[in-house]
Structure 1
Amino acid sequence: MLYFIPVPTYSLIDKGAFQMKQTGKEHIHFIGIGGSSMSGLAELAVKQGCFVSGSDRTDSEKLRHLREKGIRIYPSQSSDNITDDIDLVVYTLAVPDSNPELAEARRRKIPVVERGVYLGRIAAHYKYSVAVAGTHGKTSTTSMLSSIALCAGINPSIHIGGVFPRIGSNVLASNSDYFITEACEYHENFLNLHPYGGIILNVEAEHLDYYKNLEQIQTAFSKFAASCSEEGFLVVCADNPSARKAAAAAKCPVTFYSTQDASAPYYAADVRHAEAGTTYTLCENGTPIGDVFLHVPGIHNVSNSLAAAAAAIRLGCSAQDVASGLDAFYGTGRRFEKKGTYHGVPVIDDYAHHPTEIAATLAAARDILAPGGKIFAVFQPHTYSRASSFLEDFTKVLKKADTVIVTEIYSAREKDPGTISGASMTRHFQENGVPAKYIPDFAEIADYLKSCVKPGDLIITLGAGDVNRVIEKIVS
């Protein structure tokens, strides 16, 4: 394959990022400040000298942490929380127009922006921002790149969708010129970023409650590629055809990586999987430049690490920095996270909620499974639209588990359409050869697993909702 991307002749349409006053201390209020992304943005705002307040419906450890940072936290959402001294209100797509704080801010004509727009404003403060995009693998790859940058002494500010144990949080605020962040494709949020450097891990059908089809998703990623600075770079997975297609829109140099094609500029040679981890030789333009050890399993994580390595080298990191940073990476919260054991049986939690993610996660579980062991997967479908759109794909990939326990669908932001349920999905799975069992109650799931598993087996929860609560009833 030829890895040459011609420079396109068109320019990206300016989406008009929100601008606020550049002098004085702004007061920024976050509606739903306890969310993983919102809490991180609130900390970054404090670091940039803003006065920050926020509200959430329930207390949490994250909110207690924010209070320690000097952030004013309201324990409920009320119009009384919106005062005239607020310069900007930030909300998420999950916040309805009827929310009392959002409605009051609009009534007072206080500027309001969606989370993705505000993230773009944060990123604009940094000379070298790197945005990690893709329908899967963003959190792991962002964490890997952050680990390499920390080992290299770059000391970046970091914004991740999950907890990165090395920094004990999902965010790190620094005074450096570097900022590493996830770039979410939902509602084209990543088009607010305009990063110095970008990564495209993969492009697949996803978020079909917003996008109508893969073609629309492809168009969004092409716009993201075009939004990267001409002086910067774009790193792209050569193994994903749609990612390669998106790369054609880039106006900056494009670097490809692959786990399949040895002619790619960055390639993983001699990949070896073992229970302790995965090793491979990192090759740059066909030349070995270092040996890599990963503590996280699966060929998908080898691919993620190649993306992080290529981006890190473009930022000036050495091959030794790459090896050290990846060796120091032990995973991210809810990404193949080992939570403990039950009578010697490993209990793992994973955020996988798309068929491709589930396939990769179950393959990684099989790589570390003891001979003769069985995989017990607890699958919580995430959103009705995803359950409907990918029913046949879920059916195919869940056959890779030995036993599948299906919970009720986690609705997230959606209303029940009455056309699909955890029970109906289970019947479809059973009719098509999936060893599935429907158990909606988490305590009953825990009891069932305790009665079934034997030494050598593995328990894994799959889903982006609250399915990890099952683990609390298994592992003390």
Structure 2
Amino acid sequence: MRLTDYKDKVIHFIAIGGCSMSGLAVLLGKMGFKYIQGSDSAQTKYLAPLREMGMKIFIGHDAAQVENAELVVYSAAIGENNCELKRARELGVPVLRRDELLGFISELSPNCIGVAGTHGKTTTTGMIAQIFEEAGRDPVIHMGGTLPLIGSSVKLGHGGEFITEACEYVDSFLTLHPSCAIVLNIDADHLDYFKSMENIIKSFAQYMSQVPAQGIVIGCGEDANTLKLLRECGRRYATYGLSPENTYHAENITFSPEGKPAYEFFKGREKLCEVKLGIVGKVNVLNSQAALICAIEHGISLDAAVKALADFKGAGRRFELRGEFNGARIYHDYGHHPAEVAATIAASMPIEKKRLWVVYQPALFSRTRAQFDRLAQCFKGADKVIIIDIYGSREPFDPGITSKMLVDEVVKRTGQDCIYIPGMPEAAQYLKEHLLPGDLCLTMGSGTVDKLDGFIFNEESPA
């Protein structure tokens, strides 16, 4: 099919309220597609901009809502039993998965930069987007969080480069053929789909193989799975990390009192520049090197790239300061995988504080079960841990795995001060009663826990 054939036809998005799906709808709208509509099970903060663009938005799913559709797009969170998807298939309406639409849009730009990896995709995509935008390259941008520079998660540019997150879930990134593929790391996740680490590695290998012969793969040499695939991919590649054995590496890493890293950036033994980041976390010493190499490969000066990295203050829901309560700072981070939780806690360590609180919402019953042992040990460094009920999302309730079980295992394995509180209102009330001036509180998870600060600040929970 040709996407442009649908510019004057009705396109219906099922689950339009998510960050990526709403972003794709925005891109189509700005590309001149006239009749875009969609549905979601609940109001979300991403729907208002769509309505402002004139899109019809339905709250709730109903088969009748696709009767006029001429193309239907649905997200990975939507099962085959969804009434709208079933009706679209009955009517013979063409149907696209979210990743297939992303692939079609990416093909409209001569150069695609795909940022893949189990962890760090949104932050690294944001860094690259910031660099290209500040350099005047006018890229198309598609990422999983808001980039403050553009006030959105997407932007329609006309410079010939498409910068996008490349998510591995359900092999979504295999609809992309990036001229520049970035692989940050390869870890065990989405085991409900992949079933094994071997299958995850095979998927990333396929992603690398889809880079054209004249393209490049940029990967972290500190990650054993990534390094092995780079050496086998048959494409030109560059590695980065902390060791001089990599193509590029960082040395002399220091941290500001706010926890923001600075380092010297080398290619081999040649010092290229000094870098000061505008965000916290040692992990971002690695992520920012991927962004710098991407800039070099696309002819952007290091001076411009370094300035952009200093200007980059993070993406939405990534170590995002939400406010203060009783002198305690409240941050939110999207991290839900145990490696991400541990990295975010580590990122907060250099920041001056009295006590570190972590409020964690596990994501998915299947993921909590698969990562149970790692989750039980990922909160080290936190003074106080609260775990609320599991966010089930697309999965049915599973009584065989609970947050209370996870709390008991954390206490058993680490002896940490970890308690179970079922819901966000109760957790917020507990925090309001126990937070002290100088405390730092991290709310973490990919589900609805980002609304917790609304309860803390006595606001109505944001949509």
Structure-2-length-normalised TM-score: 0.94
2:104 maps to what in 1? Answer: 121
2:56 maps to what in 1? Answer: 72
Residue 450 to residue 196, structure 1, CA distance change in 2 (3 Å): same
- Equivalent residues in 2 for 1:404-423 (5 A)? 404-423=385-404
Q: 2:417 aligns with which of 435, 449, 459?
A: 435
1:402 maps to what in 2? Answer: 383
Look up the SS of the partner of 1:340 in the other structure.
strand
1:474, CA displacement in angstroms?
Answer: 2.2
Gaps of 5+ in 1: 1-17
Post-superposition Cα deviations, 1:306-351, rounded to whole Å, max 9, x if no partner, equal 1111112111111012111101100111111111112222111011
Query: How far apart are the structure 2 equivalents of 1:249 and 1:82?
Result: 46
Q: 2:71 aligns with which of 88, 93, 96?
A: 88
The reply to whether residue 208 of structure 1 matches residue 196 of structure 2 is: no
1:475 maps to what in 2? Answer: 457
Conservation of the 8 A alpha-carbon contact between 1:273 and 1:279: yes
1:425, CA displacement in angstroms?
Answer: 1.3
1:74, CA displacement in angstroms?
Answer: 3.0
Look up the SS of the partner of 2:158 in the other structure.
coil
Residue 256 to residue 26, structure 1, CA distance change in 2 (3 Å): farther
Look up the SS of the partner of 1:158 in the other structure.
strand
1:117, CA displacement in angstroms?
Answer: 1.0
Conservation of the 8 A alpha-carbon contact between 2:174 and 2:206: yes
The reply to whether residue 283 of structure 1 matches residue 254 of structure 2 is: no
The reply to whether residue 63 of structure 1 matches residue 44 of structure 2 is: no
Query: How far apart are the structure 2 equivalents of 1:314 and 1:207?
Result: 31
Runs of at least 4 residues off by over 6 Å:
none
Residue 183 to residue 257, structure 1, CA distance change in 2 (3 Å): same
1:385, CA displacement in angstroms?
Answer: 1.2
Look up the SS of the partner of 2:88 in the other structure.
helix
Query: How far apart are the structure 1 equivalents of 2:46 and 2:213?
Result: 38
Query: How far apart are the structure 2 equivalents of 1:63 and 1:413?
Result: 20
2:302 maps to what in 1? Answer: 319
1:26, CA displacement in angstroms?
Answer: 4.2
One-letter amino acid of the counterpart of residue 253, structure 2: V
Conservation of the 8 A alpha-carbon contact between 1:395 and 1:434: no
Q: 2:438 aligns with which of 456, 459, 471?
A: 456
Count of equivalent residues: 455
1:191 maps to what in 2? Answer: 174
Query: How far apart are the structure 1 equivalents of 2:367 and 2:122?
Result: 20
One-letter amino acid of the counterpart of residue 402, structure 1: D
Look up the SS of the partner of 1:210 in the other structure.
helix
The reply to whether residue 360 of structure 1 matches residue 330 of structure 2 is: no
1:374 maps to what in 2? Answer: 355
- Equivalent residues in 2 for 1:103-182 (5 A)? 103-182=86-165
1:20, CA displacement in angstroms?
Answer: 4.6
Query: How far apart are the structure 2 equivalents of 1:269 and 1:228?
Result: 30
1:249, CA displacement in angstroms?
Answer: 4.2
Query: How far apart are the structure 2 equivalents of 1:344 and 1:103?
Result: 52
Conservation of the 8 A alpha-carbon contact between 2:357 and 2:384: yes
Conservation of the 8 A alpha-carbon contact between 1:225 and 1:249: no
2:407 maps to what in 1? Answer: 426
Q: 2:255 aligns with which of 253, 270, 273?
A: 273
1:462, CA displacement in angstroms?
Answer: 1.3
Look up the SS of the partner of 1:468 in the other structure.
helix
Look up the SS of the partner of 1:473 in the other structure.
helix
Residue 83 to residue 420, structure 1, CA distance change in 2 (3 Å): closer
One-letter amino acid of the counterpart of residue 464, structure 1: S
Residue 407 to residue 254, structure 1, CA distance change in 2 (3 Å): same
Q: Which moved more, 1:261-270 or 1:139-148?
A: 261-270
Post-superposition Cα deviations, 1:162-200, rounded to whole Å, max 9, x if no partner, equal 111111111111222111000110011100111111100
Query: How far apart are the structure 2 equivalents of 1:56 and 1:73?
Result: 8
Q: Which moved more, 1:261-270 or 1:239-248?
A: 261-270
Residue 73 to residue 417, structure 1, CA distance change in 2 (3 Å): closer
Query: How far apart are the structure 2 equivalents of 1:209 and 1:101?
Result: 24
1:107, CA displacement in angstroms?
Answer: 1.2
Query: How far apart are the structure 2 equivalents of 1:196 and 1:53?
Result: 32
Q: Tell me the C-alpha RMSD between the 2 structures.
A: 1.7
